[in-house]
Structure 1
Amino acid sequence: MASRHSRSAAEIQRLKPPRHRRGWLKGSFRLQVMLLVGVLLAAMLLAQGAYLNHRKAEIISDQMGQRALAVALSVASIPELIAAFDAPDPMATIQPIAERIRRETGARYVVVGNTDSLRYSHPLPERLGKPMVGGDNDRALLHGESYVSEATGSLGDAVRGKTPVFDGDGNIVGIVSVGFMLDRVALDVGEHTSLGWWLVGLMILLGFAGAYGLSRHLKKVILGLEPYEIARLAMEKEAILQSIHEGILAVNRDGQITLVNQQARRFLGLPPAHEVLGQPIQDIVPNSRLLEVLERGEQQFDQDMWLGDHPVVVNRVPVNHEGEIEGAVATFRSRREIVELSNALNAASRDVDMLRAQAHEFSNKLYTISGLLQLGRIDEALALIHQESERQQAQMTFLMKHVGDPVISGTLLGKLTRARELGVSLEIDDQSSLAAPLTTTGQEVLMTVIGNLLDNACHAALQSDRRNEAEPRVRLFFTDLGEQLLVEAEDNGPGVPPEHVEAIFEEGFSTKPGKHRGIGLALVGRLCREHGGTITLEESELGGACFTVALGRSLCRALEEPQ
């Protein structure tokens, strides 16, 4: 567990930014989201705007070229212009016609030339009769094609529509070239595409505004945390869930497992978490009752249940969000551990009571001895001292001779003192023997078994009707001879009613009044089952109940094994 915590701390430390950058990173998540979304949106809008405006510019340029070609075709089909090619002075007829059409159409120039590319019309009169410039007339004069081209003429770069002039016999007698200057085309393109760029810019601004709003919303949703802080919290949560001693099991609204920690998998004997997550809770833990919590939305606290052969205490609560049940969580802890802790506390309490009883008993004896000495009854005082010393020495000698384990000897000595305080005559059979050394587990098991059996026997002996008995009696016998360890405790109490014989070993069942009862015999029974033993109940020779416990020899340490 410590290594898991250290790994989590190391991972969190790596996730944290350097200390000198923390100030710059304040609010960085919101800034990063805004920049990421805004830049991405701006790039998409710019790319789309560039493509659309480029296509629009191409369309406008093509339309200008087609317009120039349409004007050229119209000029080439004018009868007066065709007839002027046979006149002695073609320029006198053609120049006025071409200039009129140029002004009406808005073209930069309308040039008409003969088959030798000599100009019959031109916006600048001084250039009449001179060769046409551009070198792109062959397609019209030689092949009779009508086309659009871009070339540099005498007036500059232009998009031009060119077409041949045919006479009545279909012969090519000239060429018409109508041009629009490229700077004019660019100006028209700019006028038509400027609105698109303005719209793109506006959309980019709106995109950044939306990105800013989105970043603020996300920051609010994640409670103002930075990504590395979220990662740290997630790892801390995982470390806490896996390290706590309680089992945790969570499901969503559909009853599918969403969380199971290591302790829960150990309790339930489940495979690794990735094989369990997403599975229906009814298939994995049929008796979890989490579906009831999902349906009713009721909280259930400190509920007893069994997980396999393990008794547990369960808490179940629904997960609510805005009034809707989103899931349910169950936490459970081992009831055996609670019982064992309670027994340990009871044992400590009994030890304290035993020490208090010993102190009280010896205090009384000391007062008695003091009184005898003050009265001058020295012989009686010495006799009382010798009597008490002999009794204590006899008990110690017997335990040292017949019980090889000091822990069990201490337990028996304490029970003898406690029984004497309660007014119960506790006898240890002279044939009792426990010479084999015990393992640590054997010490704990046998101490628990003997302690609980003697406690129950003393309590039962005190409940007996004293009209026919001089005093409450309890007899204890134990031996390690044979294949098992045997412990037998009997009393002269009222015994166990026949209807309670089957239930006497169930946890929580007791014939004694009060709370927190029904633990001792159930614990003894469980220890017997865990260590290959049995516990039986029969009638005692003393008239009450006789409990016999048999335990496996595995609780004894091998003789050659060091103690």
Structure 2
Amino acid sequence: MTVLHRFKPVRPWRVSIRLQVLMLVGALVALMLVLQGTYMNARRAEIISEQIGLRALGVARTVAVIPELIDAFTAPEPALLIQPIAERIRMETGAEYVVVGNHEGIRYAHPVEERLGHAMVGGDNDRALIHGESYVSEATGTLGEAIRGKAPVFNRDGDIIGIVSVGFLIDDVEIDVRRYMELSWLPILLAVLGGLMGALWIARHFKQVILGLEPYEIARLVMEKEAILQSIHEGILAINKDGKVSLLNQAARRLMGVAAHEDLLNKPVQDVVPNSRLLEVLNAGEHQYDQETWIGDHPMVVNRVPIIHGGQLEGAVATFRSQREIMELSKALNEASADVDSLRVQAHEFSNRLYTVSGLLQLGRPDEALALIQQESRVAQEQVGFLVEHVSDAVISGMLLGKMLRAEQRGIQFSMPDSCSLHVELSSAGQEALMTVLSNLLDNAFDAVLMQTKAQTDSVPHVRLFFTDLGHQLVFEVEDSGPGIDPAQLETLLQQGFTTKPGKHRGIGLAQVQRLCAQFGGELTMEDGDLGGACFIVTVNKGRVAQQEISRV
């Protein structure tokens, strides 16, 4: 199970979980969209620049193969023929300039006529004029930095006779790029707003799912729940909708005899507690209250209820408590009530005796008063003396003395023959077992003789106890003058829950006595007694109830 010290104290945040989720999800969505938009716009700028360069190159190649332009290179004044052709093409293509030069780079065409006859600038003509390549370059000319397409001009013999340079200014290109990017940022902005709205919905839905609690409140509730579950005395076993164990507190482990370190979570409940019947509750969705069952060697009273959330069956939980503990508590309460009544009766009787002694003394008869006092003292001393002589274990002696006083208070004749003997030194487990066995048998005998007395008012209730430790077995006989029991019904009487007495949570004592007898190497039998009622005979192995050093002898 969960150990409480695993939980660390959680510092409460001043910012609510709804705002935290909104900020986190919104920031992630916005950051992702902005980064994506930045990358896409950067890529779009590259593509636009590449397209403009290819466009410039295409125009340059087209101009370089115009026959009229090629023939004009051999004219006396090439610029007069080439300039109009270049300007017309510049105007039609929207290029910043279309420059044509000879094989030495001297301009034959230029948008600014004053620069005709001068050398082309930029230093990027060698690939075309020397190697005959067509390419795109970026260089700074007389009109500014531009993206330029370069193409060589070949004559009919295939010789390089000139170069065509078509340029678009980078400033103009950047203006076009910015215009496209401004248009692309609008859907990105709308997507960011949509993401923030979605984050707001997620935050509100998340808050509803956790019942409006903050994380530190949930942590505190978990710690409180664990403390409550581990501190209550009742065992708790819960399963999920798949029939697997989801909760098992320390009391349940104790009652089931499961080690604290053994991990049973997420195991099928049938493997952990085969007779839990939680699967029935899970399938039927019905409550089961105050059901009696056995878990291991313990009789239990169990309540089983389904776990329903949102109209759906999510699991089931069982709470169980030891029926023996309930019986012991009920018995202790009854005994306490009986002790109060007994003390009240004894106080009344003692007061009467005091008045009697006082009266005898006032009448001048001290000898008779002294005899009355000695008579009362002798009865108590005889009871204590018998137990000291015949029973060496102080715990068993105390229990038997209490039963003798209880029998006297209830008007029952309780006798033990002088041949009784119990001198073996008992272990703590042996003491507990013999106390349970004798207490249950004597209480049953007392109840039986009182029932007989109610039916037959002239009968004297009598219970006799005999015990001996001779041989390898301890033998106990509890005989009563009650109505008796058919020995053939013994097997039925020993069944858990079977009882002939009115009231709830009965039918445990004899079943427990039989279990203890079997545990300590003995048995429980019954026969007709000499007093007219039943006689229960218990045998236990002396070595199993004695102290360790004696059991090895």
Please identify, of 452-461 and 118-127, the stretch whose mean Cα deviation from structure 2 is larger. Answer: 452-461
State the match for 1:281 in structure 2. 269
- Correspondence list, 1:117-516, <5 A: 117-268=105-256, 276-373=264-361, 380-464=368-452, 471-516=460-505
User: Which 4+ runs in 1 deviate beyond 6 A?
Assistant: 271-274, 465-470
1:90 aligned onto 2:86: no
Alpha-carbon distance in 1 for matches of 2:95, 2:490: 121
State the match for 1:12 in structure 2. 8
List runs of 5+ in structure 1 lacking aligned partners. none
Alpha-carbon distance in 2 for matches of 1:55, 1:49: 10
CA contact (8 A) 2:69 2:85 kept: yes
Alpha-carbon distance in 2 for matches of 1:328, 1:547: 43
Distance 1:54 1:468, change over 3 A: closer
List runs of 5+ in structure 2 lacking aligned partners. none
State the match for 2:518 in structure 1. 529
**Structure 1 position 56, deviation (Å):** 1.4
1:543 aligned onto 2:538: no
Residue type of the partner of 1:149?
A: S
Distance 1:393 1:163, change over 3 A: closer
Distance 1:370 1:128, change over 3 A: same
CA contact (8 A) 1:354 1:417 kept: no
SS at 1:385's partner residue?
A: helix
SS at 1:502's partner residue?
A: helix
State the match for 2:59 in structure 1. 71
SS at 1:518's partner residue?
A: coil
**Structure 1 position 130, deviation (Å):** 0.5
**Cα-Cα RMSD:** 3.3
Alpha-carbon distance in 1 for matches of 2:549, 2:371: 43
Alpha-carbon distance in 2 for matches of 1:539, 1:264: 42
CA contact (8 A) 2:235 2:252 kept: yes
Alpha-carbon distance in 1 for matches of 2:19, 2:25: 10
SS at 2:293's partner residue?
A: strand
CA contact (8 A) 2:324 2:508 kept: no
Alpha-carbon distance in 1 for matches of 2:291, 2:119: 109
Alpha-carbon distance in 1 for matches of 2:40, 2:390: 105
Please identify, of 50-59 and 251-260, the stretch whose mean Cα deviation from structure 2 is larger. Answer: 251-260
Q: Deviations over 1:291-342 (max 9, x none)?
A: 2212211011111112233322221111111111122122222223323333
SS at 2:238's partner residue?
A: strand
Please identify, of 159-168 and 429-438, the stretch whose mean Cα deviation from structure 2 is larger. Answer: 429-438
Identity across matched positions, percent? 61
Alpha-carbon distance in 2 for matches of 1:220, 1:64: 55
Distance 1:423 1:47, change over 3 A: closer
Distance 1:537 1:357, change over 3 A: farther
CA contact (8 A) 1:476 1:489 kept: yes
Alpha-carbon distance in 2 for matches of 1:518, 1:174: 121
SS at 1:525's partner residue?
A: helix
Alpha-carbon distance in 1 for matches of 2:47, 2:548: 102
Distance 1:347 1:439, change over 3 A: farther
**Structure 1 position 262, deviation (Å):** 4.0
Alpha-carbon distance in 1 for matches of 2:164, 2:505: 117
SS at 1:503's partner residue?
A: helix
CA contact (8 A) 2:487 2:526 kept: no
Alpha-carbon distance in 2 for matches of 1:74, 1:100: 13
State the match for 2:507 in structure 1. 518
Alpha-carbon distance in 2 for matches of 1:393, 1:270: 48
Please identify, of 416-425 and 109-118, the stretch whose mean Cα deviation from structure 2 is larger. Answer: 416-425
Distance 1:410 1:48, change over 3 A: closer
Residue type of the partner of 2:513?
A: V
CA contact (8 A) 1:358 1:417 kept: no
